[in-house]
Amino acid sequence: KQEVTQIPAALSVPEGENLVLNCSFTDSAIYNLQWFRQDPGKGLTSLLLIQSSQREQTSGRLNASLDKSSGRSTLYIAASQPGDSATYLCAVPLSGGYNKLIFGAGTRLAVHP
Amino acid sequence: NAGVTQTPKFRVLKTGQSMTLLCAQDMNHEYMYWYRQDPGMGLRLIHYSVGEGTTAKGEVPDGYNVSRLKKQNFLLGLESAAPSQTSVYFCASRGDNRFDQPQHFGDGTRLSIL
């Protein structure tokens, strides 16, 4: 059964730091992995989607990598800003198709000035 | 662009009452999903639909029913609400089954069952 784990559960850093959020999954037979951002009281915003044929995706200061063989993905945030404060969730598809997602519990990030 | 719209945003129910949550998307997406999010946990899939007139069970379907009579709408029903169904409910949609298609989420419905 697929399980998704995110470490750390919470992270507090000063503004300007480069940081790495981790996501691990138990079944490597995935066709994509998606990273989301969730602000308090809001829905999820898709940040990056990495297909299984790709090793990484970049969007602005965000870079996500995928290593299927080890069951790991990382989200790298460069030069963090207070506006990056949010919960970051990763998700992979459940077996059986149709991109039914299973999520990690998230990493709650606080960037302080 | 409205994207995915959920109504209502908040609701308080008494145990045993029934209600329907509405999800509407204006992107002509084929796939739609209902998830619930509980404190300290990731989202869990309740039901999903791969097109108008179709529905299927997800990970935690018990106590819920769904309908997709129109392509743009996906309804989630609670026939007899229980305190264990207190949660935040999210609807999502996706264009098609290509591997590069992300899911787009609504802002959620916060439901409390007393």
Taking only the tens of pLDDT, chain B with its 114 residues reads 579 999 999 999 999 999 999 999 999 999 999 999 998 888 999 999 999 999 999 999 999 999 999 999 999 999 999 999 999 999 999 988 777 788 999 999 999 999
> Can you give the length of chain A in residues?
113
Q: How far apart are the CA of A108 and the nearest CA of chain B, in angstroms?
A: 10
A41 pLDDT band (50/70/90 cuts)? confident
Provide the 3-class DSSP secondary structure of residue A18: coil
When comparing pLDDT for A95 and A31, which is higher? Answer: A31
Contact call for B42 and A102, based on CB within 8 A? yes
Q: Do B99 and A32 make contact, defined as CB atoms within 8 angstroms? A: yes
Radius of gyration over every alpha carbon of chain A, rounded to an integer in angstroms: 14
A54 reaches B (C-beta below 8 A): no
Query: CB A101 to CB B59 under 8 A?
Result: no
SS3 A96: coil
pLDDT of residue A99: 83
Please tell me if residue A10 touches chain B, with a CB cutoff of 8 Å.
no
Q: What are phi and psi of B83, to 5 degrees?
A: -55, -30
Nearest CA to A8 among A22, A24, A29, A27?
A22
- Pairing outcome for strands A107-112 and B87-94: unpaired
Q: What is the average pLDDT value for chain A, to the nearest integer?
A: 94
| pLDDT classification of A22: cutoffs 50, 70, 90 | very high
Q: Give me the sign of the Cα torsion angle A96, A72, B41, B11.
A: negative
- Residue B13 has a pLDDT of 96
In this structure, are strands B109-113 and B10-13 parallel, antiparallel, or unpaired? parallel
The pLDDT of residue B6 is 97
